Amino acid sequence: MQTAHPEAVPIIKNWITIIESRWDEVLQWARGRKDKLEIYLKSLKDLDETIDNLLAWLRSLENRLLELQHEPLPDEIPPLERLIEQHKEFMESIAARQQEVEVVCKPKPTTIQDARKQSRGRLAKSSQSRDQTPEKDRLPHIGPRFLTSSADMQFRSPRAQTLWEQWRIVWQMCWERQKRLHDHLLYLQDVERVKQFSWDEWRKRFLKYNNHKKSRLTDLFRKMDKDNNGLIPRDVFIDGIISTKFPTSRLEMETVADLFDRNGEGLIDWQEFIAALRPDWQERKPATDSDKIHDEVKRLVMLCTCRQKFRVFQVGEGKYRFGDSQKLRLVRILRSTVMVRVGGGWVALDEFLVKNDPCRGSNECGIEGAVYVGGRRITEYGGIQATSLDAWSSGFECILANLEQPRTHHEGNIQVF
């Protein structure tokens, strides 16, 4: 400054001030960055230490679970239930540190497109698992839900990825042990049920499940009977009933199969099995008048041998509609005889069918009108008028039968023009 020109002194001082301020600013930035780097380095060291602690903790859990795999499970339900409760608490204690593991791993967030794909896949898998898994086999879910594999995720460091993979392994082992304990509990419960097995109780449950639809069971067993000899292999029999979603177990089905595989040949007579399922094994209540009437109507109608049988419809209790007529008729049991209300009186059911069924009787076909056979016009005497093609066909069959086997005392009833 002493050698400087007097007019340059203020300018030089100004630049010196600017340089000093800039220097202080740069020095402050450098010190601030140094502090940040030291803090970040400390956080990385703490993170590494946390990862080491978590890895050691997870490896100890893995070793513990490996030891439990080799321990035999108890054969009694109360000790097994205590083990299940202990394992539940064990899983809950692991789940308590889930947030700590997620903070350490901190996988990078996926894009919106990837998130949508994962959500769609998750929904499809969950719905499929719900459809395939019975209600009694579902386990309460404890722990995280791993949506994707670790290879598809982006982690902050390779050690974080190692921790996440170890975390996944431990949870998979926990869920496997949970399922193993649950399956063993179901097995012991099945054993207890088998010890108190009652065929009558099982039969009632099976009939109730199938809603007493014997035809469906017959179709089921006919599909199993590949040789059409009435015998089904034991394993096919068991698998076939289990495939119907009937609430049972293989152990219980083995007991049922033992009842019908008496010779130990591994073959089940399915017709014998269906016969044993019949509801008439139960103590049947006395048949009511309505049941007796229905059975008698059915028996008499089935006596018809024509291709198109005479149709009878039950409209209500004791009320029937015969043939194509829309008129309701009362049917009652009078003096041990099934009677039909006609006009102001009662007629026996068999007599009523003879008069009204077109094909019943030898010559009383009950068809009015002209029929041509071989160019000849044949007219039947009065009766029920044909109102449908089926009735006309039934009457036509009866007229042909009369032509083939004529009777002298009915010759006046058929006129040839």
Q: Which residue has the higher pLDDT, 379 or 342?
A: 342
Is 3.40.50.720 the CATH number for 199-281?
no
N- to C-terminal Cα separation, the chain: 157
| Residue 156 scores a pLDDT above 50 | yes
The sign one gets for the Cα dihedral 382, 387, 389, 391 is: negative
Query: Could you give the angle at the alpha carbon of 176 between the alpha carbons of 173 and 179, nearest 5°?
Result: 150
For residue 111, the tally of other CB atoms under 10 A from its CB is 9
| Residue 182 scores a pLDDT above 60 | yes
Residues paired with residue 377 on neighbouring β-strands, in sequence order: 372
Identify the band that residue 222 occupies on the pLDDT scale cut at 50, 70 and 90: confident
Q: Average of pLDDT values for 228-255? A: 89
pLDDT, tens digit, for every residue of 291-301?
Answer: 788 888 888 87
Looking at residue 297, its pLDDT comes to 84
Looking at residue 377, its pLDDT comes to 34
| Residue 283 scores a pLDDT above 60 | no
Mean pLDDT taken over the chain: 76
Identify the band that residue 152 occupies on the pLDDT scale cut at 50, 70 and 90: low
| Residue 85 in tokens | 């409760």
CATH of domain 289-416: 3.30.920.20
| Residue 417 scores a pLDDT above 70 | no
| Residue 335 in tokens | 């003096």
* Plot region of 334 (φ>0 → left; ψ -120 to 50 → alpha; else → beta): beta
Percent of the chain with pLDDT over 90: 23
Q: Which residue has the higher pLDDT, 315 or 283?
A: 315
| Residue 200 scores a pLDDT above 50 | yes
List Cβ<8 Å contacts ≥24 apart for 363-371: 363/398, 363/402, 363/407, 363/410, 363/413, 363/414, 365/394, 365/395, 365/398, 365/399, 365/402, 366/395, 367/391, 367/392, 367/395, 367/396, 367/398, 367/399, 371/396, 371/399
Locate the domains of the chain by residue range. 9-192, 199-281, 289-416
Please state, in angstroms and rounded to a whole number, the distance separating the CA atoms of residues 236 and 200: 23
Looking at residue 299, its pLDDT comes to 83
pLDDT, tens digit, for every residue of 88-123?
Answer: 999 999 999 988 888 888 765 555 455 455 545 544
Is 1.10.260.40 the CATH number for 9-192?
no
Contacts of 379 (CB under 8 A, 6+ apart): 369, 370, 371, 414, 415, 417
pLDDT, tens digit, for every residue of 358-397?
Answer: 776 544 443 333 333 333 333 333 333 333 344 444 444 5
Identify the band that residue 64 occupies on the pLDDT scale cut at 50, 70 and 90: very high
Looking at residue 123, its pLDDT comes to 47
The closest alpha carbon to 177, from 71, 285, 289, 295, belongs to 71
| Residue 63 scores a pLDDT above 90 | yes
Identify the band that residue 280 occupies on the pLDDT scale cut at 50, 70 and 90: low
| Residue 122 in tokens | 């998750």
